[in-house]
Chains A and B, each alone.
Chain A
Amino acid sequence: MIVCRRSISTLLALIVASALALRAAPQSEPAPSGAVPAQTSQQPAQQAMQQIAAPRNALAVVVLDPAHGGADQGARGSSGIVESDVVLSFARLLRISLEAQGLRVILTRQANEGPSFDDRSKIANAQRGVIFITLHVSSTGPAGTVRVYSLPQPAAPAVTPASNPAHPGLVLWDHAQQGFLDLSRKLAELVQIQMAQRFRSSPETPLAAAVRQLRTVAAPAVAIEVSSVSLPDRAPLDQMAPVLADGVARAVAAFRLVYEAGVK
């Protein structure tokens, strides 16, 4: 009887320990081949190198970034349309479309908070099998069009994990996106195709621009910008939201195949 009780106790202890180990594993497991951004002196609070997950698993997480927020309203139209409000409603709709595909969706802000660029990047960089989409509404551009951006290829060779012999597998925080430029470009292409099909006069190919938010994301990352806050009222933008959400969700589904084929 005593032996039986001891066995049960040992078994329970093992189960609890296993559960704790499983919960801790994603945080502590090293990334064998991934980028590991180290933050520069520009982020004093982020001096320490941070280990970032590599895109080697199935695509499981989408980080949606409704840009701006808090004191930073972003673009503001003369009719009172505020970019930070519109992108939050876009993100909420897009979240539903992506979750329907079985993806986990994380928003970088839930309401009118104003996290920094790096705080938003950190949310994505702490995940495995993740892509990052930042949502914007412009001040200008033909109304009802959508443009998709990824970072341009650098003119000069960048610091990459391979070119940093002192710390193999590490990359500067400010260069976190460098290892993902091709995948980001592919994601941008797929999203832009969907946008061009749905929103007349939108470009058919994505654009390259030095969007600040994308620079510190260690994952495939794109910016989507809708035109514009200069509309006389918000109704046309609200009407675009479900169409945009459907298009982006389809593009992410297509990208999932590319991503998972590339990381096997």
Chain B
Amino acid sequence: MSRALKTTIVILAVLVVFGLITLPSLRRAIQRISGSSRPEEQARREVMQIPISTPTDVKVTAQMYWLSAASPASLEATPIELPLSADPVERSKQLLLALIDNAPAPERRTLPPDTTLLAFYIQPDGTAIADFSDALQQETPSGILSEQMAVDSIAQTLGANVNAIRQLKILIHGQEAETLAGHLDLSGLFPVPSAAQAATPVSQAPTTPTTTGAGQTKPAGPAPAPPTPAKKAPN
């Protein structure tokens, strides 16, 4: 074996050992860089998504609409205890934050966990305007089914727990978006079911949730609540 060949082999061996030593730190650096790709989104979420508390908060059993555990192509009304405000705007914000954060299991989520509610208004005619961060558009799984589940979960959760809302407009970062994630049309208004199944005090918890076919939902237990006057409130 020539001297040059021996030298080459030694150099290669040193390089391999060096590569093995530096590989873990290189991997960590890559993960750190990819993890910091959405710092603005995360910072906004940390600031905006502070739990909302108002003097009129009362702990009630709210009906939240997440994906059904048994049938993932439909929503299921799930009762959870939440402190909710008497003010319809604050109440709606509390519900939407819970809808994003409090899903019983990851597979039951309808909205991406990075989604931030940037603003929420209710116009006098009962039109609610919910302004979400870009994460809603970018991270909602693409598809008619998944996009409709996302919108339906918002509309049905609001309808079941807030009486002032008749229809829903969804904005993305303050702008009207053509679609949610490539399929569902966001240019129009989504009907919000009536508040016949509104949140009830803990002592009057509704019956077991019921679920219907794909893309349809049925809330649990009747518990009508008196209508609340619509209110416009800047965020």
Closest residue of A by beta carbon distance from B214: A203
B146 at the interface (CB under 8 A from A): yes
B73 at the interface (CB under 8 A from A): yes
Number of interface residues of B (CB under 8 A): 27
A147 touches B141 (CB 8 A): no
CA gap between A147 and B147 in the complex, in Å? 14
CA gap between A225 and B142 in the complex, in Å? 11
Closest residue of A by beta carbon distance from B73: A141
B106 at the interface (CB under 8 A from A): no
B191 touches A138 (CB 8 A): no
A181 at the interface (CB under 8 A from B): no
Number of interface residues of A (CB under 8 A): 34
Interface centre among A67, A203, A212, A225 (most CB of B within 10 A): A212
The segment from B23-31, B44-52, B180-188, B200-208 found at the interface with A is B180-188
B215 touches A74 (CB 8 A): no
CA gap between A205 and B215 in the complex, in Å? 11
Q: Which of B143, B178, B179 contacts A136 (CB 8 A)?
A: B143
CA gap between A219 and B149 in the complex, in Å? 27
Q: Which of A42, A140, A174, A212 contacts B145 (CB 8 A)?
A: A140
CA gap between A76 and B181 in the complex, in Å? 12
- Residues of chain A with a CB closer than 8 A to B213's CB: 203, 205
Cβ-Cβ contact count across A and B, 8 Å cutoff: 90
Enumerate B154-209 residues with CB–CB distance to A below 8 Å: 167, 178-179, 182-185, 187-191
B144 at the interface (CB under 8 A from A): yes
Give the shortest distance, in Å, between A195 (CB) and chain B (any CB): 12
- Residues of chain A with a CB closer than 8 A to B144's CB: 136, 138, 147, 149, 209, 211, 223, 225
Give the shortest distance, in Å, between A36 (CB) and chain B (any CB): 21
- Residues of chain B with a CB closer than 8 A to A211's CB: 144, 183-185
Interface centre among A149, A174, A209 (most CB of B within 10 A): A209
A210 touches B190 (CB 8 A): yes
B187 touches A174 (CB 8 A): yes
CA gap between A142 and B149 in the complex, in Å? 14
Closest residue of B by beta carbon distance from A216: B185
Interface mask (A117-142 → B, CB under 8 Å = 1, otherwise 0): 10000000000000000001111111
Would you call the interface of chain B mostly helix, strand, loop, or mixed? loop
CA gap between A83 and B181 in the complex, in Å? 13
A155 at the interface (CB under 8 A from B): yes
B83 at the interface (CB under 8 A from A): no
Give the shortest distance, in Å, between A116 (CB) and chain B (any CB): 10
B146 touches A68 (CB 8 A): no
- Residues of chain A with a CB closer than 8 A to B188's CB: 210
B148 at the interface (CB under 8 A from A): yes
B143 touches A212 (CB 8 A): no
- Residues of chain B with a CB closer than 8 A to A145's CB: 73, 214
- Residues of chain B with a CB closer than 8 A to A76's CB: 142
B224 at the interface (CB under 8 A from A): no
CA gap between A215 and B183 in the complex, in Å? 11
- Residues of chain B with a CB closer than 8 A to A117's CB: 178
B185 touches A140 (CB 8 A): no
- Residues of chain A with a CB closer than 8 A to B112's CB: none
A209 touches B73 (CB 8 A): no
- Residues of chain A with a CB closer than 8 A to B148's CB: 207, 209
Q: Which of B72, B182, B216 contacts A140 (CB 8 A)?
A: B72
Give the shortest distance, in Å, between A86 (CB) and chain B (any CB): 12
Enumerate B110-152 residues with CB–CB distance to A below 8 Å: 141-146, 148-149
- Residues of chain B with a CB closer than 8 A to A207's CB: 148, 214-216
Give the shortest distance, in Å, between B216 (CB) and chain A (any CB): 8
A99 at the interface (CB under 8 A from B): no
A147 touches B185 (CB 8 A): no
List chain A positions with a Cβ less than 8 A from chain B.
42, 67-68, 72, 74-76, 83, 117, 136-142, 145, 147, 149, 155, 174, 203, 205, 207, 209-213, 215, 223, 225, 227-228
A-B contact pairs, 9 of them (CB 8 A): A74-B182, A136-B143, A138-B142, A141-B73, A147-B73, A155-B167, A210-B185, A212-B185, A215-B187
List chain B positions with a Cβ less than 8 A from chain A.
71-73, 141-146, 148-149, 167, 178-179, 182-185, 187-191, 213-216
Besides A75-B142, A136-B143, A145-B214, 10 more A-B contacts (Cβ < 8 Å) are A68-B182, A76-B142, A137-B143, A138-B142, A140-B149, A147-B215, A210-B188, A223-B144, A227-B145, A228-B143
Q: Which 4 A-B pairs have the closest CB atoms?
A: A138-B143, A139-B141, A212-B185, A75-B142
